[in-house]
A and B are shown apart, each in its own frame.
Chain A
Amino acid sequence: MKIGLEMHFQLPTKSKLFCSCPTSAAEPNHNVCPVCLGYPGSRPSLNRKALEVGVSIARFMDCKIEEKVWFSRKTYFYPDLVKNFQITQYESPLGTDGHFDLNGRRIGIWRVHLEEDPGRIKRVGRSGEEIAFVDYNRSGIPLVEIVTAPDLQSPEEARAFIDQLVIELRSLCGLEAQDEQTVRADANISVGEERVEIKNVQGLKNVERALKFEATRQSKMLAAGKKIVRETRRFDEERKVTMPAREKETEEDYGYIGEPDLGEFRIGEMARSMDLKETPLARARRLVEAHGISEATAKQLVLTSLSLTDLFEELCRSVPTEKAVTWTMGPISSNWAVLQTHPDIRSEITAIVRDDAEGRITDNEAKRRILTLAGVAQEEAQEGDADLGRLIADFVDAHPEVLADYRKNSKAANTVIGHVMKESKGRYSSKEVVEEVRKELDKMV
């Protein structure tokens, strides 16, 4: 099975692609001006920020980036398209021939380009009597289109691909408006020879559903000895089926010409001088390689918080990886929301964990200190501590012979340890209990 995706993501800019209208939510037809309404006499000027974000995505995908690019007009008639042509990139995308690593597999990226979004049509009323409203707030919103090679092998993989791509792009350029529900994709899928295109599917789940339906449909047809026709289909979200789109079967002729109002943009130098942020999944891959931690741990770490990951990497420089993992994924992770607000938290925690790793303090003490830093957990930590001391004292009071035995043989401590472990129901690690019991007994003898 071969699946290729064309995805559209809204870029995180404050203003539209070719005018200064805001991209924020508003009453219908309030974020509009002569440019994004296509009024005669108006003309586009490019939002520099959108170009930069687009180029950063192309570079992130390791695309080939030309020195200069330009825009094109894609002409078709539709009520939501104000000029009846869309300004997009045709001969001259931002990037071509890149790739994206999906769980160790390399997925080809054919092209990355910028384009403007059309308006939105809303239909109201009963079928047959419906009224169509057009909201042009969306007209001119900047989109990046990413087209993959048909390298995806299953609907699940297609979903995982979009999922991971969104994680990376969100971190790379802050695609805030983008979530799993708003991803828009066209998907090409072929089980046999001929491919079928499913147009305009919205949302991650729907992409997977549409592909699953289509995979089953094509497999059944092939099994029945039928031929699959090359066609464009659409996904019915209600019935969860794909069906032939009403459009003509032949590919529409968009009559592309260059957009003469915008001119050329030199992006080669921009791309080269750009400092790309390390994205979460790329970072996870690096952590696996650098520190030998498991992929699951690495992903959990980067997806929990990037600042927590920073701390982890800092700990790795001073203590064994194993220690760094235990502490980071344990009490630090569960209290990170509070801890990260603490000034200078990295050096504080590093000091504690190093003291612990080098045996200057007990695990319990280290944990107590970390929880103290977290503030909210302080009382609980002290209470817990006292609780452990009290359990030991109570047991010794009830069984004074233990002390006498301990004087002769330190192994007698095991009786106390066993009891406390049982009583504390696993609230403390065995190491903590062992250390605490020894400490208390040593005080008493």
Chain B
Amino acid sequence: MSSPGTYDLIRYAQRKHRAFTEVVETLDESKFHFSAKDNLCAEGFQARAGSAVLDGYSPPFDATAIKRLKMGGGQLVGKTTMDEFGFGTFSVNSAHGIPLNPFDLERSCGGSSGGAGAAACLIPGHVALGVSTGGSISGPASFCGVVGLSPTYGRVSRYGLIDYGNSLDKVGLLSRSSDLVWRHFRTMAGPDPKDPTSCAQPTLPEKGIMPTSLAVPKEALANIDPAVGKAFQQAISKFQDLGVQVKEVSMPSLRYALPAYYILATSEASTNLARYCGMRFGRMEEDLNQHFNDFFTGIRSQSFGDEAKRRILLGTFCRMVGFRSRYYLKSLAVRQMLIEEYRRIFQEHQAVLTPTMPFLPPLFEEIGRMKPLEMYGADFLTVPPNLTGMPHISLPCAYVEGLPVGMQLVADHWQEMDLLEAASVWEGAFPYRFPEVVL
């Protein structure tokens, strides 16, 4: 039996694993194929960001990242499933299908770029555009056993990205190999006048430098599933075998990252989501003959999922007069403090190494029993580099009970090429495994 064709795999990933919300009718074989998370705008597709409130929104423009990949010879083959507006760690908060893990259909792909993780894993040669706000690329990369790069904040234009937290959102890539990520990341990166925050970046170097010394913060290893902890220790040994120094360090500020992140992200999100009110785009079927307040409330109550409502409430609360300085402004200070703590580490080491997720890809029934705070807590290793805007990459580092375990490397601002260099070296020593697809 010949190996399945790419289009068959795309349809399989859509049907069996719910990786895609929409796919193209035909493939252009002269081009490379990429997908985009559904919060990235592209002509010819809806952009619904996992939310029912955006049903029917067909943006009249391409996101810059998509435009550049198209110009670089790519075909956008589909949009991938995600948590509503990126609000989630397991992609279960989705109005357009919950993606199922490529290694085990009973388990989560991670979130919020869950569909992207599944697509990257199931389709060889495929490159999936993901978006990370607090770990939404690293998480799915770890659970789906692929490489996931979240670049420095401001490295890739956010034009055409449906915002979650504008000061945190980063467009990145997931794929089976660091080589693919490297190639397409170079195409996407660079200043774009349509996103002023992308215009202050230094030039991307051709090639990175392999880190010679990695720091492992001891705070990151508390509250880790023992199976993940053991796998991570083996990865450390392997790095040492490769001649890389690995040293334990202390980063006491890491514990403040999670609350600061959730305050900033939800504050920004609650203003970003204000525009969804049943006018101008997206869902609009409401009765027009009513006061605008009732009209807005009606469509928002019906269309937003519980997690979106929870984050709007949280963010609105944090922005209120009297609470602003206690929460929002204080979180800005925490972000600055954490940047300084990382910088201190980067004086001696080129990257910080941790596991990516604290546990193996969970079963959906386990997720069903988790409280919102436990879910937020699952991001404690991915949130710090996101809060500080530092580039990070998640790489498969072990397989436990047939499930992938991921590790995460964090580098200083603008050093993503060093991370890709490390990934390339790692891949030479640690072959990745992918589930066999039987159509």
Query: Which residues from chain A sit less than 8 Å from chain B, CB to CB?
Result: 34, 37-43, 45-46, 73, 75, 77-79, 82-85, 253, 255-258, 260-263
Contacts and interface: CB of A to CB of B under 8 A. Distances in A.
Contacts of A255: 270-271, 316, 319-321, 324
B109 to A, nearest CB: 24
A73 B271 contact: yes
A79 B277 CA distance: 9
Contacts of B59: 34, 39-41
Contacts of B270: 75, 255
Contacts of B61: 34, 41-42
B122 interface: no
B245 interface: no
B41 interface: yes
B280 A37 contact: yes
Interface residues of B, number: 45
A253 B317 CA distance: 11
Nearest to A46: B196
A256 B282 CA distance: 26
Nearest to B48: A40
A253 B320 contact: yes
A200 to B, nearest CB: 17
B319 A257 contact: yes
A79 B275 CA distance: 10
Contacts of B268: 257, 260
B160 interface: yes
Interface in B58-114: 59-61, 63
A208 B251 CA distance: 63
* 5 nearest A-B pairs in the assembled complex, by CB-CB distance: A255-B319, A84-B274, A260-B167, A41-B41, A260-B166
B7 interface: no
B326 interface: no
Given A39-B280, A45-B194, A253-B320, 11 more contacts: A40-B275, A41-B41, A41-B47, A41-B161, A41-B162, A42-B61, A77-B292, A77-B296, A85-B274, A261-B166, A261-B195
Given A34-B61, A78-B292, A260-B167, A40 B47 contact: yes
Contacts of B156: none
A40 B321 contact: no
B267 interface: yes
Contacts of B293: 77
A268 B61 CA distance: 36
Nearest to A255: B319
Given A37-B280, A40-B54, A40-B162, A85 B47 contact: no
Nearest to A44: B196
Nearest to A132: B292
30 contacts: A34-B59, A34-B60, A37-B280, A39-B59, A40-B163, A41-B40, A41-B61, A41-B160, A41-B162, A42-B61, A42-B159, A42-B160, A43-B158, A43-B159, A43-B163, A46-B196, A73-B271, A75-B270, A75-B274, A77-B277, A83-B275, A85-B274, A255-B319, A257-B271, A257-B328, A260-B166, A260-B197, A262-B196, A263-B196, A263-B200
Contacts of B63: 41
B193 interface: yes
Nearest to B85: A40
A84 B312 CA distance: 14
B419 to A, nearest CB: 24
A261 B196 contact: yes
Nearest to A34: B61
B321 A253 contact: yes
B227 interface: no
Interface in B278-298: 279-282, 292-293, 296
A257 B280 CA distance: 25
B279 to A, nearest CB: 6
A267 to B, nearest CB: 15
A82 B47 CA distance: 18
A257 B267 CA distance: 8
B57 interface: yes
B319 A75 contact: yes
A90 to B, nearest CB: 11
A20 to B, nearest CB: 10
Interface of chain B, main secondary structure: loop
B271 A38 contact: no
Contact of A77 (B57, B158, B274, B280): B274
B103 to A, nearest CB: 33
A73 B279 CA distance: 20
B49 interface: yes
Given A85-B271, A85-B274, A260-B268, A79 B161 contact: no
Contacts of A257: 267-268, 271, 319, 324, 328
B117 to A, nearest CB: 22
A79 B279 contact: yes
Contacts of B316: 255
Nearest to A40: B162
Nearest to A131: B288
Nearest to A37: B280
Interface in B142-196: 158-163, 165-167, 193-196
Given A45-B196, A255-B316, A75 B271 contact: yes
A429 to B, nearest CB: 66
B157 to A, nearest CB: 9
Nearest to A251: B321
B188 to A, nearest CB: 16
Given A37-B280, A41-B159, A260-B166, A83 B196 contact: no
Nearest to A262: B196
A182 to B, nearest CB: 26
A83 B160 CA distance: 15
A45 B193 contact: yes
Contacts of B162: 40-41
B158 A82 contact: no
Contacts of A262: 196
B112 to A, nearest CB: 16
Nearest to B193: A45
A258 B267 CA distance: 10
A165 to B, nearest CB: 31
Q: Which of A38, A73, A75, A255 has the most CB of B within 10 A?
A: A255
A82 B196 contact: no
Interface in B175-232: 193-197, 200
Interface string B297-337: 00000000000000000001001110010001000000000
A72 to B, nearest CB: 10
Given A82-B275, A261-B197, A39 B281 contact: yes
Q: Which of A41, A75, A260, A261 has the most CB of B within 10 A?
A: A41
Contacts of A78: 292
Nearest to B328: A257
Nearest to B196: A45
Contacts of A39: 59-60, 280-281
Nearest to A76: B274
Contacts of B193: 45
Contacts of B282: 40
B277 to A, nearest CB: 6
B102 to A, nearest CB: 29
A377 to B, nearest CB: 56
A12 B259 CA distance: 44
A79 to B, nearest CB: 5
Contacts of A38: 275, 280
Nearest to B267: A257
A82 B296 CA distance: 13
Contacts of A37: 280-281
Contacts of A73: 271
A260 B272 CA distance: 11
A40 B158 CA distance: 11
A43 B328 CA distance: 23
Nearest to B159: A43
A79 B292 contact: yes
Q: Which of B165, B271, B279 has the most CB of A within 10 A?
A: B271
